[in-house]
Structure 1
Amino acid sequence: MRRLNLRKHCYILLWFFLALAVGAVWLLGGRQAEQALPPFLPDLQAGAAAGGKIQLEAEDMAQEKELAGVWVPYMSLDTADHTQKAFEENFQSIAREAKEMGLNALFVHVRPFSDALYPSALFPWSHLLTGEQGKNPGFDPLAFMVDCAHSLGLEFHAWINPLRVKTAETPKALAANNPYSVLQADCPYYFMEWEGGVYLDPAYPYVRSLIADGAAEIAEKYEVDGVHFDDYFYPAEDASLDSEAYALYMETVETPLPLLEWRRANISALVAEVYAKVKKARPQAVFGISPQGNIENDKNIGADVQAWCASPGYVDYICPQLYYSFENEALGYAEALAQWQALPRHENLALYAGLALYKAGTDADGGTWLLSDDIIRRQIEAARASQCSGVVLYSSQYLHTEQTQAEVANLPFWENTEKEKP
């Protein structure tokens, strides 16, 4: 317990100086203003206010046209021989296919495992490029992908997994300069372990700054149209994930937040910091998040989507993953879309709908995806009717497969092209 006590005093001092810097704490989650923020949190009000000042520079970009996007996950970027030629030809094929079917935006994985598909001062090279994390591929994949997308008139959004270091299976080994390899011996509390995976713990200011600085590094060095988070925040609700950090927090504040509320505050602090740093690096870029479609599930893994939608300074857009058929018994698509439409939103927030192209032609959702071959088209029409600003399909792997061919042929985006439907 001695180490815990020493760290406790360190965090008390840290919070003291942070309080001097920001001047005061603010109202959080409906609690009274006199109740202090968790000691691991920066001043969220200051962060949100700073983001709000530069929000106007990006608002038109988020809403001026209908977004028709597709996610390009890391699996789509892996090639068998790990050569520059293979990588570039593969991405060109993905981008051209998206363009030919009338899409206008790519959301591309550039940091899936606390790594980088670009030369980074903070994260190691991704294993996707050479088969070995940390090994230099000899070229800049992100620079190539951004140029390729823009040459075709496609937006390029850099997709980041903020917390994930590794799963039980991937990658096989971490590089010596992976944050886990560098920090684990002296700062094991910066990481959470779950089912064989390792995740960064956003309770700590250093961790949040590492993630935010990595996002800003991308926005500063590359002409990306945006930076994007998906739905991976805390990997589970289990209290054992971050028990030491929460115990320390409980000891250092007079009126602590409940665990899940504290976690949401940690993630919101991260989101506000990322927003502010991305905007500082590239004011015209947008920052957005694609949370799970079930709002209650989001809250349980740390995603306070209500706060992000209601207040400026967090995100320019929200893109819930509405991966449900219309007939899904637990939560149908129309019901889920209506729930998101009903959330209070600040005036500059764009709402996109994430759609499950990967389920088309399968027996998912009790077989309801087999009932017709125009489900995605009708979901797009419903999103348009409810004043959504666009949709994003998951994923590029399913744009040209036998399983999804009938659904893809019925997508409305073909109307924007001269390309013959498949």
Structure 2
Amino acid sequence: MTKFFLLLLSFAALISCSSLQSYNKHPKTEFRGVWIATVVNIDWPKNGLDEIEKQKKDYLEILDFYQNLNFNAVIVQIRTAGDSFYRSEYAPWSRFLTGKEGKAPKENFDVLGWMINEAHSRGMEFHAWLNPYRATFDLKTEVLSPTHDFNLHPEWMVKYGKKYYYNPGLPEVQEKMVSIMKEVVADYDIDAIHFDDYFYPYKIKDKVFQDSSCYEFYKRPKQSIADWRRSNIDSLVKKTYRTIKKEKPWVQFGISPFGVWKNKSTDPKGSDTKAGQTTYEDLYADPLLWMKKGWVDYLIPQVYWSMDLPVASHSKIVDWWAQNKSNSNLYIGNGAYKIRNNSDHAWQKKKELPNQLKLARNTQQMSGNAFFSAKSLMKNNSDVVKYIKRKYYKKAALTPISSLTKNTFNEVKVQVSKHSEEKIEFTVNSPQKLRYAIIYDSGKKTKLTYPTTKLLNKTFIDDSSIFSISKSEFKGKKHIAITFINYYGRESKPTVLKIKND
């Protein structure tokens, strides 16, 4: 009996420890992202005809809202449909930014550079979101710039439904897309290139994507059109990843595929869902292969359904992705836009979205979440926002490191170099580029690591070896621990410094 009782206690302890390990109230690293959609001015700018100062104000309102919620990344759409939100050799200025396609912002204002700096200054990563294959948003081609690819390369275009698309099967199209990604990475201080779920377009009943002649010309022997299409997408993903890493190896590459890879009804390896379309069979995208091959740093499957929706349960799909994760980081995309705005009554509940965050945090293979889209929580549903802040995002979190990065962090030397009435100045010496300085509350002794509950400040560092922090941030502390985040997202060993707060 005694032996049995001891075994029972051991088992209970094991279960208890497992439970504690599976849920961390204040994780040190967790991706907390939000998509800022610019196509047809969904989130920003509110109108392409707005003055630039109004657009700046609206963008900062988004950043400040999500900074207050302790988010650490924004995913901003900078290419919507063959256009750009930055000066590009390969695409005209977007009409969603300036009101007229091809028209530059006043005084040649560098919109993208400014947006990136404002995100970084708030401790947030900037993921540049580009839609590769959508060429137009509608059939109103008369509004397109003479330099739009629809006019320069009509042979690249495929009309499907009420839009035009680039033909992914053409080598020239792939080459163009890779050049676009290279340009953004080379010219801007972004943290990631991001693709969404639009590869081959979602299927429309009784419509055929007219690429059969291209297929016949480029296919391999005995290759089906479905496999050929997937190979085209695979090729772009692989080339984009390699181009990014060659240009700036610290810049990540992430993709947000449609949430259902395959239904179990068509493949035993698929999820227990009844999705009308799937990413593998209908969009011709194979994110499982991209993870396996190490072509992406992260995936954010768009699991925009409620927890227990019969045809596509959020909880079942999250579990499926967890079981099929390999190599890359894995986050979950949440449909915040559905809160109290959907026929599925589950979204009427205050805790629907928070319960999805809880599920992701309790799932070992998941490392965070991203919300679509930015405006969803800003004007309505304040009760949901308050609950999320109090229950899940009360403390800040650092962004996860790409599991594919090989970078190591050498020692960083830092010292207090100057005191004033208002701020403390630090001098830093590092053999590699630094992105942020992290200040923790500490005692006299240095620890190996500090939890985010001790975090006092996260400061963006430019190329200078000197930076300063307001004394108000130290809250009367006598000792602080300071670490640094490099461009790869790694945190250095802490250094404890004594400071004066008189």
Both proteins in one fold, TM over 0.5: yes
Shift of 1:401: 2.2
Match for 1:244 among 199, 213, 226? 213
Shift of 1:406: 2.5
1:66 aligns to 2:30 (yes or no): yes
Match for 2:233 among 267, 277, 280? 267
1:65-144 mapped onto 2 (5 Å cutoff): 65-74=29-38, 75=41, 76-80=43-47, 81-137=49-105, 138-144=108-114
In the other structure, the counterpart of 2:293 is: 311
Asked if the contact 1:117/1:140 (under 8 Å) is kept, the reply is no
Shift of 1:327: 1.9
Highest RCO, 1 vs 2 (Cα 8 Å, sep ≥ 6): 1
Shift of 1:88: 1.2
Q: Distance in 2 between matches of 1:376 and 1:87?
A: 29
Q: How many residues align?
A: 343
Asked if the contact 1:103/1:413 (under 8 Å) is kept, the reply is no
In the other structure, the counterpart of 1:198 is: 164
Asked if the contact 1:72/1:108 (under 8 Å) is kept, the reply is yes
Select the structure that is richer in helix. Answer: 1
Shift of 1:267: 0.3
Asked if the contact 1:79/1:86 (under 8 Å) is kept, the reply is no
Asked if the contact 2:160/2:208 (under 8 Å) is kept, the reply is no
In the other structure, the counterpart of 1:41 is: none
Match for 2:132 among 162, 166, 190? 162
In the other structure, the counterpart of 1:386 is: 363
In the other structure, the counterpart of 1:175 is: 145
1:358 aligns to 2:325 (yes or no): no
Shift of 1:275: 0.7
CA distance change for structure 1 residues 287 and 170 in 2, over 3 Å: closer, same or farther? farther
162-171 or 379-388: which moved more?
162-171
Rg: which structure is higher? 2
Q: Distance in 1 between matches of 2:260 and 2:254?
A: 17
AA matched with 1:329: P
Q: Distance in 1 between matches of 2:296 and 2:395?
A: 29
CA distance change for structure 1 residues 230 and 199 in 2, over 3 Å: closer, same or farther? same
Q: Distance in 2 between matches of 1:247 and 1:311?
A: 27
What CA deviation, in whole Å up to 9, does each residue of 1:133-190 have, x standing for no partner?
1111121110010000001111100000110111226786111111121111xxx1x2
Match for 1:398 among 357, 360, 376? 376
Q: Distance in 2 between matches of 1:147 and 1:236?
A: 35
3-state SS of paired residue (1:148): helix
TM-score of the superposed pair, with normalisation by structure 2: 0.66
1:374 aligns to 2:351 (yes or no): yes
| Residue segments in structure 2 that go unaligned for 5+ positions in a row | 1-26, 263-277, 397-455, 457-502
AA matched with 2:382: Q
AA matched with 1:243: S
Q: Distance in 2 between matches of 1:112 and 1:172?
A: 17
In the other structure, the counterpart of 2:326 is: 345
3-state SS of paired residue (2:135): strand
Q: Distance in 2 between matches of 1:397 and 1:170?
A: 27
AA matched with 1:122: Y
1:409 aligns to 2:386 (yes or no): yes
Q: Distance in 2 between matches of 1:322 and 1:343?
A: 15
Asked if the contact 2:45/2:59 (under 8 Å) is kept, the reply is no
Q: Distance in 1 between matches of 2:320 and 2:393?
A: 29
Q: Distance in 2 between matches of 1:224 and 1:344?
A: 26
CA distance change for structure 1 residues 377 and 141 in 2, over 3 Å: closer, same or farther? same
TM-score of the superposed pair, with normalisation by structure 1: 0.78
3-state SS of paired residue (1:392): strand
Q: Distance in 1 between matches of 2:28 and 2:87?
A: 32
CA distance change for structure 1 residues 153 and 298 in 2, over 3 Å: closer, same or farther? same
136-145 or 224-233: which moved more?
136-145
Percent of paired sites with the same residue: 29
RMSD: 1.9
Q: Distance in 1 between matches of 2:303 and 2:116?
A: 27
In the other structure, the counterpart of 1:281 is: 247
In the other structure, the counterpart of 1:334 is: 315
Asked if the contact 2:308/2:315 (under 8 Å) is kept, the reply is no
Q: Distance in 2 between matches of 1:369 and 1:71?
A: 19
